[in-house]
Structure 1
Amino acid sequence: MPHQITHPIGPILLLDDVAGDRLSLSALFITADRDTPPPIAWAAGTAAPVALARHAHATVWRARFSLPAYRTSSYHWDGTDYEVAGDLTGDLRLAYVSCNGEEVGDMLREGSERNAMWSRLREEHRRQPFALLLHGGDQVYADEVTQGHELSRDWPDRVPDDPSPEALADLRHHLRERFFERYAILYAAPELAWLAARVPSLMQWDDHDICDGWGSLPRDRTESAVGQTLFAVARESFLLFQHGTVQDDLPARFGDPSGAHLGWGIHAPGLRILAPDLRSERTRRDIMGRPGWAMMDAEAERNVEGHTLLMSSVPLLGPRMSLLETLMVAIPRMQKYEDDLRDQWQSRSHRDEWRRMLALVRDMARRDGHNVTAISGEIHLATRAVMDLGRDLHFHQLVASGIAHRAPPKGWARFLGALASLGESPLPGHPIRIAPLPGQRTRYTAERNYLMLERVSGSWRAQWDLELSGLTDPLPL
């Protein structure tokens, strides 16, 4: 039965771009059938929502408007004033989250347990507001959307050889409604909804926004008619619900207006945020294709002051996963985990591409002593890493994962820590060191968490909120 919308969902505030001294924003709404949400109002005018997509019993709307990028301001909707801490010019705070769900039964979890860390993040914003909310991948766990349809019920183990156009059209409808249901339920959660109406979001996708292991699965699965239908619907839903847009209407921050890849960049005073697309072009051999690399190469040539935050949905700095990969391939009952390891930059299949990205980051930092920090999720653990770039420069990586996904066993965290003790140096002369969070004894922390990034008088620092251990001490960057 299609998901019923009983009350309007929204506004979900999304950052389209930073243009001069303005924040270009989209406000997303979901209403029942063809109910029209009231207009957005702000100091400079009003904006009526326009319909972006129709679903079985609901409509998705968007209103575009702008607010100052140099001070706190507000907008008004449906009787409520929403304050936005939009000053990107001086001291500011950002929040980073990832892995907002679980693979099995996520929609059946009790809300206060599932969204406990969202509740804490909401209270942290009330204490000291965030200017932006960065989402680093797996905003939804769509692994179960393929269930319930004849063509996809055995995905990815088996796919039909030659489904008819009519069957594929029916599959598309089925998947489209299942994706809609997940996004609608997540955005209606009060803990997230309160924050999302007041803090502009920027989002990057990862595999679970499509399906577990997308791009690392065998090619005869991903390139099948069923696989391509799944990807097309996931992509449409990603653009709609995570960016408030549709094909051929991408905001200016996207690196390729055609959407060949969905990487993007934001440029604000003293701050650049880069989010390459690590899924659209991914195959079992490649993480990014030519268009994606073209965006990153162009960004590496830019003259940028201040700090770059590089969002890598999969951690860019990590231990010798290739050793674990070799072990798993040799043990038949462990081979089902091969796709998970191939997802990593550290996979032996991606070794050359990993070196290319690390060299790009090194050269980017060396050009003018520019600071670059990677922020990542995906692994359901919290950790950090440092790569020595030479010339007294260091490349920091901060991993925060997950905001809703429950932590794996502590034994897995200890195993990864032991693997990290072996060291790794994919670029000669630039060793990688996996380090504990401030105040933690082990390299990986098995607790739900989110990350806060703060700029004070031009200097950056990071702080994690861990579900059981609480706030870490600030880490200077």
Structure 2
Amino acid sequence: MVTFPLVLGPMMRYVDETSASVWLETRSAARISIHAGGRDWAARTFAVHGHHYALVELDGLEPGTVTPYVVEVDGTPVWPDPSSGFPPSMIATLKTGKPLRMAYGTCRTSVPHDATGNRTHGVDSLRAYALRMAAGGGPPWPDLVAFLGDQVYADLTSEQMQEFISARRDIKAPPGEELKDYEEYAHLYYLAWSDPANRWLLSTLPSAMIFDDHDIRDDWNTSLSWKKKMEATSWWHGRIVAGLASYWVYQHLGNLSPQERAEDDLWQQIARHTGGDEIDVGPELDRFADRADQDPGSYRWSYCRDFGDTRLIVVDSRAARDLAPDDRALVDEAEMAWLDGRMRGGFRHLLVATSLPFLLPMGLHYVESWNEAVSQGAWGKLAARAGETMRQALDLEHWGAFQNSFRGMAALVTDVADGKRGSAPETITFLSGDVHYSYVAEVDRDSGSRILQAVSSPIRNPLPRLMRSFAAIMSYGLAAPVGALVARSAKVPDPPFRWSSLKGPWFDNNLACLEAAPEGLKLWWQKGVVDGDHSRPGLERVASLTVAPRSAEHPAAGHRRHLGFRPAAGGRSATQRGARLSGRAPSRWRPFR
């Protein structure tokens, strides 16, 4: 019996005007070749704990071109598979000056795409998106898809993952049904990325990624007491080392540009190896992951990319935390300094991708800021212990629960919006997920950039109905003024600005898209829908919105003031503020450009 040599991939990762990076996993050590446009590029695999990977760097490409490619393993063509029914995989380089078009989302569980899986977890919106793209027709494809956390769930495993765990160890012994080591992470990624439709999609559409808590464990780095509790277990050290090591291999390596990889010490060990045998970097990767956990300042997971007149900053809001009780921060001092250097004007749109929403519904923001103050002793030691228990039980650990970081980021974004860091962008938009519902909010401002929060969550992991009610309550009505009173009772200062909802929340599994269009920043959300055949879901638009620049607004329109989420008499609607909203409508796609 002949075994197919590819385990995962090929995955199209970092792509710019003249270069592309293709990642894959093979069953054994091999030489990988990629043929495209009459040229060839090759790389040897490297080994990690018995697994074999390659990242092939393609250079000298023509800007704005779309070229089919073929992958060979030791001289044997393995991709594309002509029997798959999917179109050829493509390398689509960026075109200089072309406005950015991208998709993004978070929170995707890996369960089968049958009637049972769709009943328990809903339709995979990424897979529905892939099938629509493969069918052709409709608007142009995006330049990039950004996965903003929880691509894999290391702590909430599926039946398929539990079968794998049970076959190799006692699943009743700690950590039980959760992941234990690198081998189990490798299988979890296989379950996440091996579906044929999604595999084809990721072989063509460039991707960028960042982790959130479930990539490691729920509440990862919520607080110092949480970390000490984990470190006291017999299994945590193996989990965090395996989680960060596998993240570097499966997700982070492909985020980097060729120049950034050239500055990565671990990658340079791989790149410098020119011998005939495969290099094994498993031990060094484990040491690196351990160091990155113990000393967050030793490595940076955040990154920044410019797409013409749009800048995308992808922020690590998990590993780079300062957990010291008296100085806790969502991003530590070094990470904030890095952000300070990249939060700049001079772009038409500034996108800040952070898995955790910067602007939660204001009622929930107040609750989280109150909980942080109580956990730090505002109401005494007994209340502090109760506050810490609540923090972990209710996942109160977003930007609002780290007031130092929230206010630091608020100051940066306000400076950019006021034109103090170069010419003010039309929009500054936080792209986020995590909360398992989607919404759009905007900071109330009279001038400068429009500051927005656009959440897309989940791709496939719907919120239980009881939690949906809680989310809706925290988004509307009396939640904000009541939350404000609670926060003030713990002497928490009011936020430096106020914000209000433009649209949402809604709870569909969905994938968001955005486009830097001439009329403004266009955003829309799409979900998968089943019409009989669970294996072939369709794609339906859930919501859409266009955010026009202030200069495009009606000159006589006054800015909407806001108190407790209720517009004052005579205030103008979201449409008058430059946001054009539309209802449900089908969406169709056509191939690149």
TM-score range relative to shorter protein: 0.7 to 0.9
CA distance in 2, matches of 1:13, 1:230: 28
Give the Cα–Cα distance (whole angstroms) in 1 for the partners of residues 59 and 11 of structure 2. 14
Which residue pairs with 1:87 in the alignment?
94
Report the RMSD for the aligned CA atoms in angstroms: 3.7
**133, 141, 150: which one aligns with 1:138:** 150
The alpha-carbon deviation at position 292 of structure 1 amounts to: 1.1
Q: Name the aligned partner's letter for residue 517 of structure 2.
A: V
Aligned to 1:287: 330
**CA apart distance, 1:346:** 1.3
Deviations 1:55-78 (A, max 9, x none): 44x422221114757413224114
- The residue number in structure 2 matching 1:28 is 23
Tell me how far apart the structure 1 counterparts of residues 243 and 355 of structure 2 sit (CA, whole Å). Answer: 17
User: Alpha carbons of 1:353 and 1:38: their partners in 2 closer, same or farther (altered >3 Å)?
Assistant: closer
Give the Å deviation of 1:411. 1.6
Within the candidate set 302, 307, 320, 1:268 is matched to 307
Deviation at 1:43, TM superposition (A): 2.9
Contact 2:252 2:301 in 1 (8 A): no
Question: Aligned pair in 2 of structure 1 residues 336, 266: CA closer, same or farther (>3 Å)?
Answer: same
Select 1:459's aligned residue among 516, 520, 543. Answer: 520
Contact residue 363 and residue 479 of structure 2 kept, 8 A: no
The residue identity in structure 2 corresponding to 1:181 is H
For 2:295, the equivalent position in structure 1 comes to: none
Answering whether residue 346 of structure 2 is matched by residue 346 of structure 1, we say no
- 1:366 deviates by 2.0
Q: Secondary structure at the match of 1:119?
A: helix
- What is the match of residue 56 of structure 2? 63
Aligned residues between the structures: 438
Match of 1:202 among 208, 218, 236: 208
1:398-439 deviation digits (Å, cap 9, x = unpaired)? 000011112331323322223785168977662111332xxx
Q: Does the CA contact (< 8 Å) of 2:108 and 2:151 recur in 1?
A: yes
The whole-number CA distance in structure 1 between the counterparts of 2:264 and 2:42 is 25
Asked if 1 retains the 8 angstrom alpha-carbon contact of 2:69 and 2:91, the reply is no
In structure 2, the partner of 1:474 is 545
Q: Secondary structure at the match of 1:320?
A: helix
Which SS does the other structure have where 1:444 is aligned?
strand
**CA offsets, 1:274-321, max 9 Å, x none?**
012111122542211222112101112x45322111001100001233
Q: What CA deviation, in whole Å up to 9, does each residue of 1:185-221 have, x standing for no partner?
A: 2111122111101111011111111111110151313
* SS at structure 2 position matched to 1:48: strand
CA distance in 1, matches of 2:388, 2:472: 19
Query: In 1, are the aligned partners of 2:12 and 2:206 still within 8 Å (CA)?
Result: yes
**Residue in 1 aligned with 2:408?**
356
2:476 to 396, 418, 422: 418
CA contact (8 A) 1:30 1:184 kept: no
Structure 1 unmatched ranges of 5 or more = 157-170, 437-442
Paired position in structure 1 for 2:46: 52
Structure 1 window deviating more from structure 2 (79-88 vs 179-188): it is 79-88
Q: Give the whole-Å Cα distance in 2 for the aligned partners of 1:314 and 1:462.
A: 19
The answer to whether the 8 A contact 1:98-1:400 is kept is yes
Q: Distance in 1 between matches of 2:496 and 2:8?
A: 52
Give the distance between the partners of 2:219 and 2:243, measured in 1 at CA.
13
Shift of 1:151: 12
1:76 pairs with 2:69? yes
Alpha-carbon separation, structure 1, partners of 2:60 and 2:192:
26
Alpha-carbon distance in 1 for matches of 2:113, 2:128? 18
TM-score calculated relative to the size of structure 1: 0.80
CA distance in 2, matches of 1:384, 1:317: 9
SS in 1 for 2:342: helix
Larger Rg: 1 or 2?
Answer: 2
Contact persistence 1:385–1:434 (CA under 8 A): yes
Q: 1:390 to 1:355 in 2, by over 3 A?
A: farther
Match of 1:278 among 303, 306, 317: 317
- Quote how far apart the aligned CAs of 1:377 are: 0.5
Distance in structure 2 (CA, Å) of the matches to 1:357 and 1:14: 29
AA of the residue aligned to 1:203: M
The structure 2 residue matched to 1:181, chosen from 166, 187, 202, is: 187
1:94 Cα offset (Å): 0.8
- The answer to whether the 8 Å contact 1:118/1:191 transfers is no
Partner residue, 2:196: 190
Kindly provide the CA deviation profile for residues 337-394 of structure 1, in whole angstroms up to 9, marking residues without a partner as x. 63553321112xx112111111111112222121311100101111111113442432
Relative to 1, partners in 2 of residues 1:11 and 1:59: Cα closer, same or farther, differing over 3 Å?
Answer: same
Distance 2:201 2:125 in 1: 12
DSSP 3-state at the match of 2:228: helix
- Are 2:163 and 1:118 aligned? no
Name the aligned partner's letter for residue 36 of structure 2. W
Letter in 2 for 1:214: W
Q: Does 1:316 align with 2:358?
A: yes
Seen in structure 2, the aligned counterparts of structure 1 residues 428 and 183 have a Cα distance that, compared at 3 Å, is closer
Q: Secondary structure at the match of 2:400?
A: coil
Q: Letter of the aligned partner of 2:244 in structure 1? A: R
Q: Deviations over 1:261-280 (max 9, x none)?
A: 21100012111110121111
Deviations 1:103-143 (A, max 9, x none): xxx55674973653123212443333111111111111111
Q: Distance in 1 between matches of 2:387 and 2:412?
A: 38
Distance 1:414 1:336, change over 3 A: same
Distance in 2, Cα, partners of 1:333 & 1:110:
42
Q: Is this contact kept in 2: 1:98–1:402, CA < 8 A?
A: yes
Q: Which of 230, 235, 239 is the equivalent residue of 1:230?
A: 239
Percent identity of equivalent pairs: 19
Cα separation, 2, equivalents of 1:388 and 1:275: 24
- Secondary structure at 2:480's aligned position in 1? coil
Query: Is the partner of 2:475 in helix, strand or coil?
Result: helix
**Match of 1:452, SS?**
strand
Asked whether the equivalents of residues 363 and 474 of structure 2 are also in contact (C-alpha less than 8 Å), the reply is no
Deviates more, 1:109-118 or 1:311-320: 109-118
| Alpha carbons of structure 1 residues 222 and 200: separation in structure 2 relative to 1, 3 Å | same
Q: Identify if the C-alpha distance between structure 1 residues 320 and 451 changes in structure 2 by more than 3 Å, giving closer, same or farther.
A: same
Separation in structure 2 between the aligned mates of residue 304 and residue 447 of structure 1, nearest angstrom:
36
Note the C-alpha offset of 1:92: 4.4
Q: Which residue of 2 aligns with 1:9?
A: 8
Q: Distance between the aligned counterparts of 2:312 and 2:62, measured in 1?
A: 15
